[in-house]
Structure 1
Amino acid sequence: MNPLDLGVNFSPSFSVKFCNIYENVGEICDSKLCTATFIEQGKILVLKAV
């Protein structure tokens, strides 16, 4: 896999939605702006919050 597969090279940062599911409250979600970097010859995708 390379950055072309995810279009990462066209988008330096993008929004990722993180959700926690609570029994009583339901789902609470938070969007964070992230950047993506491939390491280990493209085997590992690292997401970092901006």
Structure 2
Amino acid sequence: MADHSDHGEVTYTIADGNDYPAHEQTYEGFIRMVKIGTSAVAFVLIMMAIFLT
């Protein structure tokens, strides 16, 4: 069986090479695209409601 003699100690580490500003920029871009996509779908639905009824 595995030796678990140190399982009373919990350590948290941050991986080397994390680029937090790039992460924030990617997230902001994702949120921006979600907003644009939602607006585009709403626009299409409104146009369908106006012209297809």
Q: TM-score, normalised by structure 1?
A: 0.22
Which of the two has greater helix per residue? 2
Which TM-score applies when normalising by structure 2?
A: 0.21
Q: Whose strand fraction is larger, Structure 1's or Structure 2's?
A: 1
Q: Which has the larger radius of gyration?
A: 2
